[in-house]
Amino acid sequence: MQPIQFIIELPASLRILSILLLAIIAHFIVRELRRLSQWMLAPTPQTGVSMTESFARRYPKLATLMTVFVSAITFTIYFVAVGLILKELNVSLKAYLASASVIGLAIGFGSQGLVQDVVIGLTLIFSDAMNIEDLVEISGQIGKVEEIGLRFTTLVNLYGQKIYIPNRNIGIIGRFRRGYIRAYVDIQIPDQGEDKEISENVRATSQGMYDQHRSIILSEPEIFKVKEAKAGKWRYLRVKFHLWPGQSSLIETTFKQRVIALLKKLYPDYPDWMITVTYKAE
Q: Mean pLDDT for the chain?
A: 79
Same domain, yes or no: 126 and 192: no
pLDDT confidence bin for 216, thresholds 50/70/90 = very high
CA angle 125/128/131 to nearest 5° reads 60
The answer to whether residues 138 and 205 belong to one domain is no
| For residues 256-264, average pLDDT | 94
Structural domain containing residue 246:
181-279
pLDDT in tens, 3-47: 554 444 556 566 677 767 777 887 788 777 777 766 665 554 444
5 belongs to a structural domain:
no
Other C-beta atoms closer than 10 Å to the C-beta of 73 total 14
- CA pair distance 10, 22, nearest whole angstrom: 16
pLDDT at 76: 77
The CATH number for 245's domain is 3.30.70.600
Same-domain check for residues 193 and 270: yes
pLDDT of residue 239: 96
Q: Is 222 helix (H, G, I), strand (E, B) or coil?
A: strand
Say what the pLDDT of residue 29 is: 80
Tally the domains of the chain.
2
**pLDDT value at 199 more than 90:** yes
- Helices then strands, each counted (H, E), the chain: 8, 10
> pLDDT digits over 140-180, tens only?
899 998 888 778 889 999 998 999 999 888 888 998 888 89
pLDDT at 31: 78
Q: Where a domain ends, among 132, 151, 176?
A: 176
3-state secondary structure of 237: strand
Which one of 158, 176, 194 terminates a domain? 176
Q: Is there a domain that residue 2 lies in?
A: no
Give the three-state DSSP class for 226.
coil
Q: Alpha carbon of 210 to those of 92, 220, 242, 250: distances in Å? A: 65, 6, 10, 11
The residue from 146, 176, 206 where one domain ends is 176
